[in-house]
Structures are given as structure tokens and as C-alpha cells.
Chain A
Amino acid sequence: MIPFLAVVKKELWSVYRDRTILIAVLIQLFIASFSSGLLLGVLSLYDADTIMQSGSVQIKIGLVGPAGNPLEALMQESGLQVFPYATLAEAQSAFYQNQVNAVVLIPPGIQNTAEIKLYLPDSDAISSIIRMVIQGPLKKYENVLRGQNGIDVRYTDLKGKPSTSFEFVYSVLLPMLMFFPAFVAGSMSIDSFTEELENNTMQTLLSAPLSVNGMIGAKIVSAVIISNFQCMAWLALMQLNGIVIQNVGWILLLALIVAGLTSTAAMLGAVFLKDRERSQFIYSLMLLAATGVGTLLNLSPITTISRLGIGDYYTNGWNVALFGVLLAGLTLLLLKTSRRVIV
């Protein structure tokens, strides 16, 4: 036991000494804030509700056509300002005097079908925002016309709340922060193992009272310890930011098991290939493949962790235990094959 702990201690110390682990932590911070900034900031530019809610954008639409058309009310309802004009020429000159941003032309005598025209400014930036915002009223108007044609469209009155941010936090941010350290742990296991091989220090290490399995196990354990420390820090940070996370204990255990899975799988590859270049390549391919297969079999730790985080009724420790079984199997496989290293 003592030599085992000594190797764990040495590994942790070398990570601390190199300081480059800080880069990995920084990257996670970067990706987390970058993706949330991107998703919540930029995506909202493409979401009509958010554009109108922010109130900073006042879009004025010139309307040419018979009075009392339902589209007029629908546009006002969604927050657009509507100004009626008698002819297109008048509306156009209002456009050039910056009194309206766009013009809608509705021909007279609409019965059950309509072909209207939308005149937009030439600038792509402004016209795409206007198209984004006017999309909602147009769709509703389409449903009004469908109603006149005797078609009953269901589910048109659903409201709800914009869910992007909720979905992002629990299905992207939480899994990413919990599993990225695991991904790094796998890479680190390969590095520290192949480095011993390529620097010819493996034999020296094994002359200590320590088996191959003990040495490999110590390297995996230290990688997992580092990754779980990061997970704890991220969870604390998220809670500090006011994000409610349920089942914290199970989530940490799942993160631990997944870090164990990636490190063991990575080590398995390294034991067979015995050099860094190929091991890392195969490891990244394995990660991608495992993601795909997991999704296919409906057994993805990503789904499990987001369900744990929101406190899903049907998700509990048993779902975590499933991955534990997987880890036990993989560990057994590694223990059986690790002797390849010394032959």
C-alpha cells in the first residue's frame, strides 16, 4: 500500500510542479463562458422574443393595403409599430426618410389565400432582424387564413417560457464541466504512463516493491483525484452563480466513475500500443465512438447527468450504478492485460 501511495503522491506532485494543469482549468472556464456567452448572447439575436423583449429595438413597419386586415393587429401584438400608408410610393418615400424600416404590401380583396409583399432594406444585417421578428405575425396570419379555409390547426395557443437557457445549463454546461476533467484524466494517464516507457524509467519504477497493476492503478487513481477536484470546484462555482443542482452526491460519483472509465480505457490503449502518439489518437477516437454508441444504446452519461441535475423523478443511484458496473468490467480487463508491458 505504501509504494502505491508513493506513486500517487509523485504523480500529483509532478502535476502541481508543471503548473500546466492550470491551462486545462482555464480552457474549461473559457469554453464554459464562451459557449454560454455565445449561446445566450448571440443566439438571442436570432430569437424574435428576445429581440422584442429587450425593448432597445424599435421596428417600424409601413403598411399599404385595406384597413382591418388581421395582420395589422398581429404585428402590433408582437410589439412592432405599424404605420398605414395609402400607396406603395408614399411608403417608399417614408422608408427613404427613415420613418419606417420596412414595408408590407397587402393587395385588396383577400379571401382565403393571399400573396402579400414585404419590402426590406438592402442591408443584410437589418433585413435579417426584421425577417426574424415579422416571422411570428406572418405565421399567425397564415393560421388565420387556414381557419378561413376550414382547417383546424392544433396546439397554436401554447406559450411556455423560453427554454434555451435552462436547456443549455443542464444539458451542455453541467455535463461539459463534469466530463471535461474526465477527458483530461484519460489523456493524463496516457502521458504519465508512456513517458515512463519512453524515458526508460519503467524498469526502475518496477524494481520498487510494486506490481505493474499497482503502478498503473496509482496513475489512474491520481488522474481521477485531480479530475474530481475540478468537478467539485465547478459544482461549487455553479451553485454560487445561483444554479440549482439536485443530487450533487450522485453527480460527483458519476463524474468520478466516468473519469475512471476514460482513464482505464486510455490506459488500456497505452498498454497495447506503448507509445504516446498512437495511444492518444486511439483514445480520442474511442471517446468519439463511445459517445456515438452510448447515444445509440440510449445509455449516455450526458443524459443521466442532466437528469440528475434537474432532479428527474425516474433517475437515481441505480442509473449511476450501471456505469459503475461498466467501470468494474473495464478495470478487470486492464488488470488481466497489463502484464504485456513487461514482456
Chain B
Amino acid sequence: MHQILVIAWREMTRLRKRFGGSASPIAVVLLLAALGLSVFTLRNSVALGSGLYRVAVSGDVPAFQDSRFSVFHTDPAEGKALLDQHAVDVWVDGAQVQARDDDRSLFAVRALRQDLEVQELERIGGAYAPGVAFPLKVGINYFGPAPAAGQGATPSSRPEELIIPSLTPPPAPFTQVLVSMFYVLPITFISIFFTSSFMDEKVNRRLSILLSAPITPFQIIMGKMLPYASFALLTTALIAWLTHTNVLLALAIFAPTILFIFAIYLMVPLLYRTFKDTTFIAMLVTTLTSAYLVFPAMFTNTNDLAYISPLTLAVKMYRNEPFGWREYLFPSLPMAAIFGMAMFAGTRMLNEEYLMGYKPITRKLTDAIYLMMAHVSPYLSVPLWSLLVIPGVYMAQVVFLAFATNLPLRILLAAVLAAAALVEEVVKSIGIVVLAGHGQVKSTRALLALAFLSALGFLLGEKLLLLVSLSVVQQAPAAGALFGAGVFLLIPLAAHFIFTGAVTFLRVKARWPYALALGVGTLAHFIYNWVVTRGGL
């Protein structure tokens, strides 16, 4: 523990020196000021399509507040002329709205409707007494759960909510989702600093000196991570405090997320070869993690699968809706598991030979897997690997689902199933293939035994996950499709074994290129998945 604190302290000093020069603090303050300014200006123009429509206005028309409109004030004759020569999209003449009948003009009318509706409400609200201006009130009530036979209906526990239709927009989860995203942004920023610190040490070879000192790689990683992780926690607490919500609850929700993001960013400095790599890999990581976190949260309260993302919990927190332990653990456990896995990988990869070599990126990745697996017997490491990467597979599949949402529904299912099959075949076979590549697996018998163990480990992890998720998710056919809905465990086990066995055999014994072997396995797996989801098995 002492060693970790020493390294953490050293890290703080390094950071202070780096950003403590004479000119840079001023520059940072200036830029932060500009940043504040930009947030301030963008606050009013969040609507997409700033300046997209041109509107000619004559007579008594309310001033537009929507940034989508560029307004010309003209006299009526000119307004008509501008509209006819396609110079403007709409012409508002007093209470009359004139448009052409091409698409662009009609789009503008629809956009105009939203804005003018609000303007009219403000005008009416100002000019008349509230009771007259807003004559309709709607009391929203809820029916309780269905009554048992012979009994009266149980009233819902929720109190009546009184709304005025034109003033109360229907509930949409997006505002709270946006607030929850505010937490992820600083965490990502801070973890980028963590990454560049590692890279800096790697470039000027201080990491080599550290590695020769009597401390473990684990202590080095923890020590370097500690200041940044604490800072991320502090920022989380600060945001929670500023947005008037429960600070402890926010910390509990986002602590696993922080660990997860740091775990992913730990991989960046370990894998990169050139600076450009870092930029690209960091961008990839940022995109994928935000997709993973934000996408499910969009479905808060419309689908239980939303609980995959901890942001859903934050959305619930902001709505003062309760959630239980199971809902908390459902997103948090996979994230904590990924963190554990990344820490293990990090300690194995943190050696000078691995860090300093320039190799193709795929080679770099397989070397990392070899380093993680090589220190125990393959018969233990292969099934363990298949079992432990399950959270990663699960996250990858969620990202695929997000990626595929813009496809038509029929292709969507097929695409997701194919991608899922590919990922599963990769994780099950890669360990064996890498070990064989280093000459640790030679006989066909050993190969098939390992393929069986890999399938077993994978299936075990998969069913474990299914068990956990079934307790939270009740209405998720997608989850069933992704994680195999087969009831009889023997059929999926046999299927997994056959696919993995085929891939590894084709690669190791028949000397096929890995991509080709993988393609065969994926195709078989895809057909199997397709049959299962069509209700064949």
C-alpha cells in the first residue's frame, strides 16, 4: 500500500510540473473562459439545424426564438417575390403563413409551427387571465394492477397529477439522459490524462526504471491510477452536489463506471506503437464507451434492457424513482469484472519487451493474450479465459445492437446475430490459436480437449449472465436471442464445441488463415443462432 501511495504522490508532482509552466496556466484559463462562453451561447441553440431556414416576415409577427430561422423583414410584395424565387422558404404575413409546395418549404412550415405555437401561448398567457387563457386541465391518474377475481380494483398508489396540455410536454427521458452524460464527460477527460501520463513515461523510458525497482506492475498501475481516479470521484461528487441530487448515491452509481473507463484507457498506452495510434485508439474507445453508456439509457422505462447502462440508474435517480440491488448490480458487475480483467492484463503486459516493440496491431493484441494465458496450464487458462471475457462479449454485443439500430428490422436481427456469432467465435478460439502459435498445443487431441473446455467455460459464463439478467430483465427477447435461448444445455454446449473445434482445427492443423477459419465457424454459428431464434430448437 505504501508503495502505491509513493507512486501516486510522484504522479501528482509530475502533473504539477507539466502544467505548471509560466505561460500555460494563463492559456488554459483563457481557453476555459472561451469554453464557458461557448457553453453559454450553445445553451440557446441546442436545436439542430441552426440557420437552416430562411423566413420573410411582414406585418405583426412574433419574434422567432428558434435558431433554425434566419429572418428577413420585408414589405408584403417583396415577401411574395422572395418566396417565389426560392430565396426564402416561408413567408409569414401577419397571421398568414405562405409556403410553396416543395419539400423544403413544407419542412420549414412544420418547424415554424413548433416555434409559433410557443409564441402564441406566451402572447395569450400575457394578455388574458390564466383561467381563460388555459381553460383545460387534465388530471392524470393511474389504474392499479389487475384485481383478483371477485374483488374490487386496487387503486394505484400514485397521486393525481394535474396538467395543462399546452404547457406540459409529455415525459421524455432525454433531459435526464443529457444530465447523466455530464458525468461521463469529465471522467473521460481525466482518463485521457491518465493515458498520456503512461505514454510519457514510456517514451522517456522512466517506466523501464520503475520496472527495475522492487515494486510489482500492479503497484505501478494502481499508484498511477489513484490520483486520477480520486479526481474523477471528486468531480462526480461535485456534479451531483451542483445538480442537487444525492451525492452518495451518485458516487455509488458512477464508481463502477469510472473503474470501467479507466480500465479501457489503461489498454491504450500498453497497446500503442506510434502517437497516431494513440489518437485513433483513444477516439475509438471514447466512441464505444459512450455508445455503450448512453444508448441503453435512452430506453429508460420503455425497456428493461436499459439497465445494462448505469446511466439508467442516474436517470432514475434524477426522477426520484427507486431501484433495487439487483438493478444496481446488473450494470455494475460487468463493469467491475472488466476492470479486474484489464488490471490482470495490465500487470502481465507491463514489461519492457512488450511495451517497446513495433509490431502489427493484431500481433500486439495476440501477444497480450499470450502473456495473460501463458503462466498456467492451458487446461486451466483456456476455460478461464472464455469464462472471464463474457462481460466484454456482452458489452460488445450491446454496442453492435446500437450500431445496427439504423438497419431495417429484418436485416437488423440477422446483422446482430452474425456479429454476435463472430465475437463469440473469436473469444472462444483466439486463446487456443495463440497458444498453438507459441507451440504450447501440439496434438489434435489436446486441441479438441481445449476447444471443449473453452466451449464449456463460455457456456458457463453465458448462462450465469443469463441467470443474473433474467432476474432484472423480463421483457427482452433480444437478450434471449443474443445469449442463446436453448433450454437444453447439452445442445448449445455441443454446438459451441463443434464451432470452436472447427475454427481451431482449421487454423492450427489445416493451416488455414485465421480469418478464413473464423469465417467458417461464424457462418455455422450464425445459421445455428438463426434456427434457434426462429424457434427451431
Contact = CB atoms under 8 A, between A and B. Distances in A.
Interface in A111-129: 112-122, 124-125, 127-128
Nearest to B291: A34
A278 B19 contact: yes
B395 to A, nearest CB: 15
B113 A155 contact: yes
A191 B68 CA distance: 37
A84 B303 CA distance: 31
A30 B87 contact: no
Contacts of A154: 95, 116, 120
Contacts of A9: none
Contacts of B135: 112-114, 142, 145-146, 148-149
A19 interface: yes
B109 interface: yes
A8 interface: no
A36 interface: yes
A167 B35 contact: no
B87 A313 contact: yes
Contacts of A142: 134-136, 164-166
A23 B283 contact: yes
Nearest to A198: B203
Given A121-B143, A288-B35, A163 B50 contact: no
A41 B280 contact: no
Interface in B417-436: none
Contact of B41 (A120, A145, A295): A295
Interface in A123-178: 124-125, 127-128, 131-132, 135, 138-139, 141-142, 145-146, 148-149, 151, 153-155, 158-163, 166-168, 170-172
Interface in A91-128: 92, 95-96, 103, 112-122, 124-125, 127-128
Contacts of A119: 141-143
B276 A20 contact: yes
Interface in B246-297: 273-281, 283-284, 287, 291, 295
A195 B202 CA distance: 13
A30 B403 contact: yes
Contacts of B147: 96
Contacts of A118: 138-141
Contacts of A317: none
Contacts of B136: 113-116, 138, 141-142, 145
Nearest to B362: A19
B181 to A, nearest CB: 13
Interface string B40-62: 11100100111110100000000
Interface in A287-314: 288-289, 291-293, 295-296, 300, 302-303, 306-307, 310, 312-314
A321 to B, nearest CB: 18
A191 B52 contact: no
A225 to B, nearest CB: 15
A286 B403 CA distance: 30
Contacts of B295: 34, 38
Most central of A96, A291, A312 by chain B CB within 10 Å: A312
A27 B261 CA distance: 18
Contact of B279 (A128, A187, A277): A187
A211 interface: no
A127 B140 CA distance: 10
B283 A139 contact: no
B535 interface: no
Contact of A295 (B50, B85, B140, B403): B50
A45 interface: yes
B301 A128 contact: yes
A18 B273 contact: yes
Contacts of B106: 159-161
Nearest to A19: B361
B37 A306 contact: no
A13 interface: no
Nearest to B195: A277
A271 B276 CA distance: 17
In the A-B complex, the 3 residue pairs with the smallest Cβ-Cβ separation, listed nearest first, are: A292-B38, A37-B406, A160-B110
Interface of B: 18-19, 23-24, 27-28, 31-32, 34-35, 37-42, 45, 48-52, 54, 68, 85-88, 95, 97, 99, 103-104, 106-113, 116-117, 120, 124, 128, 131-147, 153, 156, 158, 160, 164-166, 169-172, 174, 192-193, 196-197, 199-200, 203-204, 273-281, 283-284, 287, 291, 295, 298-299, 301-303, 360-361, 402-407
Interface of A: 14-15, 18-21, 23-24, 26-27, 30-31, 33-34, 36-38, 40-42, 45-46, 92, 95-96, 103, 112-122, 124-125, 127-128, 131-132, 135, 138-139, 141-142, 145-146, 148-149, 151, 153-155, 158-163, 166-168, 170-172, 184, 187-188, 190-192, 194-195, 198-199, 272-273, 275-278, 280-282, 285-286, 288-289, 291-293, 295-296, 300, 302-303, 306-307, 310, 312-314
Given A20-B280, A292-B42, 4 more contacts: A14-B276, A24-B280, A167-B48, A190-B275
